[in-house]
Amino acid sequence: MAFLSAALVVAGSGLIVLTATGAFDQSESSKPSGPAPAQPPMLSRPPKSVATQPPVAISATRYVFPVGGCRADASQSHHDYPASDIFADKGCEFVSPVDGRVDEVTRVDTWNKKTNVGRDRGGLSISVVGVDGVRYYGSHLAAIGAGIKPGLVVKAGQTLGLTGKTGSAQMTPPHLHFGISWPTPAGHWWIRRGAVPPQTFLNAWHSGRQLSPVSLVGKTERAYGADRGCRSYC
């Protein structure tokens, strides 16, 4: 009696492995009686080896909406460069939208409405480079967590600071300025503030859907070309 069994095993680590076993058996009653007929000579061949493929780990980056603890409404457009203003009450949680590490932190608000210098417009701010290689930036914060510093490993949904009105938001309702970009050397605020429209991703995360900006960020970076400094709203 011939049989072949296959089982799909999902290991605890998230690996998917396909295992198979096979055997052949012949009962005594089915064996022919008498001497076996002569068989033609056969060339001896070494058995074929079957390459064993290593199991492939399946993983996915998890994304969350960057404002937690209260209602928040993301603007569907932004002036002069790609970004979104997420309007929420002062003191709502600014959370990391992804697992990653803290990139840059600005704890001092140096914005002056008379000069309105671009590098100061964000006020208190934090950026995170995700495990997906994308940088996420939030600014106009009222406060930053005491232990939040460059290099700190953070998890998606972890509170980084509180929404507020620092920087140029002193002249507007409280909101979180949110930008998506590729990582750059420190101080390149004209990229950090936002280089890719984040609205599609924010809308997805707000509704609990997973949508990655990796492809769009890569495409935009290639089209951007050489970085020669601020190009708009400087």
Residue 43 has pLDDT above 60, yes or no: no
pLDDT band at 117 (very low <50, low <70, confident <90, very high): very high
* pLDDT of amino acid 182: 98
Does residue 200 surpass a pLDDT of 90? yes
> Using alpha carbons only, what angle is made at residue 188 by residues 185 and 193, rounded to the nearest 5 degrees?
125
| Residue 168 pLDDT | 94
pLDDT band, residue 5 (cuts 50/70/90) = very low
Q: What is the distance between the alpha carbons of residues 16 and 9, in angstroms, rounded to a whole number? A: 6
- Report residue 230 CA to chain centroid gap: 26
Long-range Cβ contact pairs of 180-183 (< 8 A, separation 24 or more):
180/82, 180/134, 180/135, 180/136, 180/137, 180/213, 180/217, 181/134, 181/135, 181/137, 181/217, 182/133, 182/134, 182/135, 182/217, 182/218, 182/220, 182/221, 183/103, 183/129, 183/133, 183/135
Residue from 233, 67, 234 nearest 141 by CA: 67
User: Is 30's pLDDT higher than 80?
Assistant: no
- Which residue type sits at 199? Q
- Please answer whether residues 178 and 191 qualify as being in contact, where contact means their C-beta atoms are separated by less than 8 angstroms: no
Residue 9 has pLDDT above 60, yes or no: no
Mean pLDDT of the region 166-189: 96
More confident residue, 152 or 25: 152
Nearest to 65 by CA among 40, 98, 113: 98
Max avg pLDDT among 14-23, 44-53, 76-85, 195-204:
195-204
Tell me what pLDDT residue 78 has: 86
Determine how many CB atoms are found less than 10 A away from the CB of residue 59.
8
The structure's pTM equals 0.74
| Greater pLDDT, 170 or 1 | 170
Res 6: pLDDT: 35
Q: What is the mean pLDDT of residues 62-89?
A: 93
Overall average pLDDT of the 160-180 stretch: 96
pLDDT at 21 exceeding the cut of 90: no
Which pLDDT score is estimated for 47? 43
Q: What's the rounded mean pLDDT across residues 141-170?
A: 97
- Name the token pair of 177: 């300025």
Helix (H/G/I), strand (E/B), else coil: 200: helix
Q: Which residues pair with 126 in a beta bridge?
A: 105, 138
**Mean pLDDT for the stretch of residues 6-24:** 35
Quote the CA–CA distance of 12 and 8 in Å, as a whole number: 13
Q: What is the pLDDT of residue 80?
A: 85
Separation of alpha carbons 124 and 109, rounded Å: 6
DSSP, collapsed to helix, strand or coil, labels residue 23 as strand
